[in-house]
Amino acid sequence: MDVYISIDMEGIAGIATIDQIVRGGGGYRNAQEMMTGEANAAIEGAFAAGADNVLINDSHGTMDNLLARDLDPRARVIQGSPKAQCMASGLGENHGVALFIGYHAAAGAPGVLAHTFSSDFGAVRLNNRTVTEAEVNGLLAAQHGVPIGLVTGDNEVCAATAAAFPGVITVPVKTAEGVHAANSVHPSTAQDLIRAGAAAAVEKAATVEALELPEKFVFEVGFQIPLAAEIAASTPGAERVDQLTVRCEAPDPNGVIDLVNIWATIAAHSARSRLPMLAVR
């Protein structure tokens, strides 16, 4: 069996603050080491349960956070951005199961460092329902018939994905105490839990079903500033719902990720355009 892993950083044990997850922050290097440790735990668990190949996709921020030389050499790693499939880059029908490590809750949810794809997005909805990154990536997996076997992160994302993914194993490695605060297990304990969870997910993969694809994919983002919404609304097929909200129907999960990539770029550039004005104040 080929196993796919997508790993984010906000849901890693011991991580709770912006300083830890942004390159240049005082805690970033330590966060890289903890992220790499959880990556190795998932890889080790997958191989222990009989995986033939493991592919891991670095899915946080600039997507070059994992310390590649410290990764289990049996796995292949995808790093760098932008990537067309973003957090699900490399995922295909050859994979028997996907594991989501270090994930977090949706924008607006009471989770540690909660957001959905971009800190420049407010609420993100699909078919009029607030969704996590895990759920959108789960749909990308579903179009290849790949089930989600494991999700790790804080208690909030584990609760959300346990309700969304049939048969998924969840491993909460910390409890949200606030947006920038967490009650976390020790990194080594988290790695033990993830290793066991990954092994269990691979062992039961054949009995777990992929998500059912909806009939339509109406994607909606609430932007932080009107300029971003104004520009995003020029996307073919999009409509501006209100001053901050843009909606567009995509043909499939790939189309949803296309909108994520385009609108996140628009939002980031729009946010930077405000800096001279803010400096005047």
Q: Report the distance separating Cα 57 and Cα 100, nearest Å.
A: 10
pLDDT at 274: 61
R_g over Cα of the chain: 18
pLDDT at 279: 45
- Kindly report, residue by residue over 69-93, the tens digit of the pLDDT: 999 999 999 999 999 999 999 999 9
pLDDT for 276 beyond 80:
no
Average pLDDT rounded to a whole number, residues 3-32: 97
Domain assignments of the chain as residue spans, ordered by start: 2-207, 217-280
Q: At residue 252, what is the residue type?
A: D
Q: Report the distance separating Cα 193 and Cα 185, nearest Å.
A: 10
pLDDT at 275: 52
Q: Report the distance separating Cα 178 and Cα 128, nearest Å.
A: 26
- Kindly report, residue by residue over 145-197, the tens digit of the pLDDT: 999 999 999 999 999 999 999 999 999 999 999 999 999 999 999 999 999 99
pLDDT at 277: 45
- Kindly report, residue by residue over 185-226, the tens digit of the pLDDT: 999 999 999 999 999 999 999 999 999 999 999 999 999 999
pLDDT for 280 beyond 80:
no
For the sheet containing 245-250, what is the strand order? 129-130, 121-126, 217-223, 245-250, 239-240
Cis before 82 (ω within 30): yes
Name the CATH code of domain 2-207 (choices 3.40.50.10780, 3.40.50.720, 1.10.10.10, 3.10.520.10): 3.40.50.10780
Average pLDDT rounded to a whole number, residues 118-125: 93
- Kindly report, residue by residue over 225-255, the tens digit of the pLDDT: 999 999 999 999 999 999 999 999 999 999 9
**CATH topology assigned to domain 217-280:** Gyrase A; domain 2 (3.30.1360)
pLDDT at 3: 98
Do the domains 217-280 and 2-207 match in fold? no
Please name the residues in contact with 256: beta carbons below 8 A apart, sequence gap of 6 or more.
126, 136, 139, 217, 219, 250
Give the ranges where the chain is alpha helix by DSSP (H).
18-21, 28-48, 133-142, 155-164, 187-203, 226-232, 253-272, 275-280
Please name the residues in contact with 77: beta carbons below 8 A apart, sequence gap of 6 or more.
55, 56, 57, 58, 66, 68, 71
Please name the residues in contact with 213: beta carbons below 8 A apart, sequence gap of 6 or more.
139, 142, 143, 253
